[in-house]
Amino acid sequence: METAVQFYDYTRPELVRLLGDWGQPRHVGAQAFRWLYQKRAKSFGEMTDLSKELRQELEGKASLSPLKLHSRQASRDGTVKYLWQLPADVKGQAALVESVLIPMARDEEGEPSRHTACLSTQAGCRMKCSFCATGIPKFQRNLTTAEIVAQILGMEQDSGTSFNNVVVMGMGEPMDNYGNTEKAMRILHDPEGLNLGRRRVTVSTSGLLEHIERFIKDDWPVSLAVSLHSADPEIRSRLMPINRSNPLDKLRKLMRKYTFVRRLPVTLEYILLKDVNDRPEDAEKLAAYCKDLLCKVNLIRYNPVPTLPFDSPGEEAVLAFRDLLKAKGMRVFLRERKGVDIAAACGQLGFENTSKPNYEF
């Protein structure tokens, strides 16, 4: 039996070509695409401007169900973490992946008026950053384009809300799953898709140089964030093994190229780890690294993972680090903690399925 074609795997031009190969006029593929994303159709039967014969044909050879909701957890702060079950592989094993709904600004009644969707691109992660829970268990696989896109649609359907912003900062390294993530981002940006502007979607990378070079050339319709976490090569290599083959000096040159070509700032993510990268000299090195780089820095308090040997600095140290950077004229933001109590915060995803790692620091 042939595997059903998953419609969410296709960009608009690809869906037009697919239905053209099935004998349909070009406009039919565009109609189907609008049904998926503008009208949020949950079945082919709802696509009423397609012929009855085509809808019946699609029911037999195509699919709109790439994810199954396994469970959801709600935080005291309104954050919701979703655990999705992926389709089983050839061995019958079904991986699990998490994504997060994050409430942002609130209206006069105290209700969230804006929401951010945090999406995953892999089940597990090959980067093995020493402070991150996602890299502890064995890497399972890349997500398909459909599985990336379906996270935002599934959260939207469950919560009854729409998303103002998307961050691709969940489980996995997005650029290690380059092709599928790129297609998903083009669907999110497409005016007949989810119609999210370039500044509304941010993709985060640990700094894979060849992939960033390709990312710039291919002009993904998103903003770029880089997980930096230290401007000291030795410390960063201990925190992020990827730094050994993708060093800081070359990474900086590529970020300068990105900001010159795209005329957009790059966001540098910096998790503050007590007695590791939170000292005044660490802030001085970060400020020097960012000199003449169009960037902003997101400071993130370390979120606890019980099996990892790190702590968050005290509030006095956090504010001192921020203020030193500001005194250097840098744009610095201290990210508000969200979802810590349900292991949904930065660096915690995948924790509940982990065992104790071998990391020492």
Residue by residue, DSSP assigns 301-332 as: EPPP-TTSS--PPPHHHHHHHHHHHHHTT--E
Give yes or no for a contact between 154 and 80, defined as CB atoms under 8 angstroms apart: no
In whole angstroms, give the CA distance from residue 348 to residue 292: 33
Contacts of 187 (CB under 8 A, 6+ apart): 8, 11, 12, 37, 145, 149, 193, 194
In whole angstroms, give the CA distance from residue 188 to residue 129: 28
- What is the pLDDT at residue 359? 34
- What is the pLDDT at residue 106? 65
Catalytically annotated residues: 98, 346
Q: What is the DSSP letter of 19?
A: H
- CATH numbers and ranges of domains, the chain: 5-63 (1.10.150.530), 68-353 (3.20.20.70)
Which pTM value belongs to this model? 0.93
- DSSP string for residues in 156-207: HHHHT---SEEEE-SSS-GGGGHHHHHHHHHHHH-TTTT---GGGEEEEES-
Q: Which helix (H) or strand (E) holds 140?
A: none
- What is the pLDDT at residue 354? 43
pLDDT tens-digit profile of 141-160? Answer: 999 999 999 999 999 999 99
- What is the pLDDT at residue 3? 74
- What is the pLDDT at residue 361? 33
Which tokens in the block code for residue 41? 């159709």
Strand ranges (DSSP E) for the chain?
Answer: 5-6, 62-63, 68-74, 80-85, 96-103, 115-118, 122-123, 141-142, 165-168, 201-205, 223-227, 266-272, 295-301, 332-334
Mind listing the pLDDT tens digit of every residue in the chain (361 residues)? 357 899 999 999 999 999 999 999 999 999 999 999 999 999 999 999 999 999 999 999 999 988 999 999 999 999 999 999 998 777 777 899 999 999 986 655 556 678 999 999 999 999 999 999 999 988 999 999 999 999 999 999 999 988 989 999 999 999 999 999 999 999 999 999 999 999 999 999 999 999 999 999 999 999 999 999 999 999 999 999 999 999 999 999 999 999 999 999 999 999 999 999 999 999 999 999 999 999 999 999 999 998 899 999 999 999 999 999 999 999 999 999 999 999 999 999 986 654 443 333 3
